Amino acid sequence: MSEAAPTANPGSPLPQDRFAADLRGFGALGILAVLVIAAAQLAPPLSAVLVLVWTKLSRTPWREIGYVRPKSWIGSLVIGVAFGILFKLLMKSIVMPLLGANPVNQAYHYLVGNRGALPAAVFTMIVVAGFGEETVFRGYLFERLGKLLGRSLAARIVIVLVTAAVFASLHYFGQGPAGAQQAAITGLVFATVFAATGRIWMLMCAHAAFDLTAVAIIYWNLEFAVAHLVFK
């Protein structure tokens, strides 16, 4: 009579469970995942796609990265779009002038009247910024730092500050000091909203609307006029 095949210890985790736990942790595999996602920022929105893959493979609950079904998709869309537009107008007409920023965004000045460049710009603002940056900088970084620092109020404040600083620093290379200043402020605002709500859909809409409003202002060559609405 042949011997019975050995059975797995009922108390030991399955291989896929161990793999998921390692991805969620901060051992070699977990750190490698962070580095790969960070490196993918060079080809956005690949980094956001990798965050979704990591979330699935690590069996991290979707709510941990802010992917929570809103009470109303349409309501969140309307609120997000309205907030994004008003926020951009506030930044352009009051905040950035107070900081001494050039009213003309030289990095995107090529968009003035450039109809051919609009499709790529719109794609970038919706997919790369709205979906990509919110998924990475709010969803993923909040989850990772939350695992390290905890969920206390002090930890949340630190996470808001750190994510805003990282967000601002990455905007410096393409848009200079003024771009970094604006990104720092928007990062602080968006991160604070995310820390308070834990929901990312409205922020995606707000971020996309913020950037699309910027594109519209530049395309119609209204930067100087909007920047001097309050301060002549």
Average pLDDT over residues 14-25: 89
132-147: buried (b, 16+ CB within 10 Å) or exposed (e) per residue?
bbbbbbbbbbbbbbee
pLDDT of residue 6: 46
Average pLDDT over residues 223-228: 95
Q: Give the amino acid at 89.
A: L
pLDDT tens by residue, 161-175: 999 999 999 999 889
Domain ranges in the chain?
Answer: 14-60, 71-227
pLDDT of residue 127: 97
pLDDT value at 210 more than 90: yes
pLDDT of residue 2: 45
pLDDT of residue 11: 56
Cα(63)–Cα(121) distance, rounded to whole angstroms?
A: 30
Cα(165)–Cα(185) distance, rounded to whole angstroms?
A: 9
pLDDT of residue 110: 95
pTM as predicted: 0.91
pLDDT of residue 165: 97
pLDDT of residue 28: 96
pLDDT of residue 30: 96
Cα(218)–Cα(212) distance, rounded to whole angstroms?
A: 10
**Where are the alpha helices (H) located in 40-152, listed in sequence order?**
46-57, 73-90, 96-98, 118-123, 141-149
pLDDT of residue 228: 93
pLDDT value at 7 more than 60: no
pLDDT tens by residue, 112-159: 999 999 999 999 999 999 999 999 999 999 999 999 999 999 999 999
> Which residue's structure tokens are 């620092």?
149
Average pLDDT over residues 178-199: 97
Cα(148)–Cα(145) distance, rounded to whole angstroms?
A: 5
